[in-house]
Copies of this chain bind each other. A is one copy, B any other.
Amino acid sequence: MNSIWTLARRADRLNPSIIREILKVTEQPGVLSLAGGLPSAETFPIEAMREACAQVLTDTPKEALQYAASEGYGPLREWVAATLNAQGQQVNAAQVLITTGSQQGLDLVAKVLVDAGAPVAVETPTYLGALQAFAPFEPIFASVASDHEGPLPGAIEALRHDAPGCRFLYVLPNFQNPSGRVMPEARRQAVVAAAQAARVPLVEDNPYGDLWFDAPPARPLAARWAEGTVYLGSFSKVLAPGLRLGYVVAPPALHPKLLQAKQAADLHTPGFNQRVVHQVIKDGFLDQHIPTIRARYRAQRDAMAAALTEHLPAGSEWSAPQGGMFFWVRLPAGCHAMAMLDSAVKAGVAYVPGEAFYAHAPDRRTIRLSFVTLGPEEIRQAVALLGGVIRRHLNEELQEDTP
């Protein structure tokens, strides 16, 4: 850029989101998209929102529209603390910081904890949005080897030597984006023990924990190591993402710096939104609402599981997620998910190539499929189209290999 402007070095680490670029391509009419991580709009509580907006603008319009405290709206912080405590944590409302979506929590955590050149550990694969939030602060990412239950305890212990001074390990234990995996009880215990042994604190992200289908996930890591864990939550998946409401719960040693970073970043999250959401949820709305989301997503999970079994060729690997929003599929040998995306979109179906979710050494055979955006019948059609694309690709490869 030959211009009057000089960019900061960190700007090199800012790049267009691959998902965003893919969504541009796939948002063409006629494409069935399994790519986006968009919650089903059918679950949005529109009527409750309408009533809550009117109520807030009747009861406390001036307070809702005025500047407000950077920490967030007191009663909402109390609600968050009480809800987390009912799930096994021991949180004081004073530790809760309301954020503009939990994405902002990731940005603030990195701003406060990450120096250029400092190691930050992530799962393999890991949430792309976290990589994007952390990257501008120029960490050196350490990819922790992981299996279908989450990061391997031995690999966490090895961080002591492999990534000395590691600022934190970022983990998404419940129905991870992108892998869909959930960390079982024994793995949670082992992960916390390993992190403590390696003296690597944890950043625990939990946007999907309420979206379980059969049984709730085990207690959060934060409940086991409160002083060593920052915990992030979100209202995006249980109410609506367009409100941009999340929260960060931090140990008392860390909360003030996150709060100061929050204030510098946007003064405070919209007070109107905080009050409206509190109005919606304060009398138990979510106890009725979340089960309806679970039922819907479970049916869509089942539809996708059946369709994958029916339409994907031999050599494809996946396991049905027990909650959340995503299937993680490994295509047969010879497939390159990114290279195949173009023909998939031409055939009328879109996915996210899994390589976007690795800090290092991506597995290029992987893809992420959302089962929450489309209904069951569209899911079946989309997966059938996807199966055709893969089969054609494998056939062409076979022909090329045959002289």
Contacts and interface: CB of A to CB of B under 8 A. Distances in A.
A267 interface: yes
A133 B50 contact: no
Contacts of A263: 17, 20, 132
Contacts of A38: 66-67
A39 B65 CA distance: 10
B257 A271 contact: no
B269 A113 contact: no
A66 B260 contact: no
Interface residues of A, number: 84
B268 A64 contact: no
Contacts of A16: 256, 260
Given A100-B266, A136-B264, A267-B129, A66 B241 contact: yes
Contacts of A199: 4
A242 B103 contact: no
A115 B8 contact: yes
B53 A66 contact: no
B62 A44 contact: yes
Give the interface centre of A5, A103, A111 by most chain B CB atoms within 10 Å: A5
- State the number of copies, please: 2
A369 B389 CA distance: 68
Contact of A41 (B8, B66, B135, B253): B66
A65 B273 CA distance: 11
Contact of A14 (B241, B264, B273): B264
Interface string A329-352: 000000000000000000000000
A137 interface: yes
Contacts of A3: 227, 251, 253
Given A44-B61, A53-B54, A53-B57, 13 more contacts: A5-B253, A6-B118, A8-B115, A8-B118, A38-B66, A41-B62, A50-B53, A65-B240, A65-B241, A100-B100, A100-B244, A132-B263, A242-B270
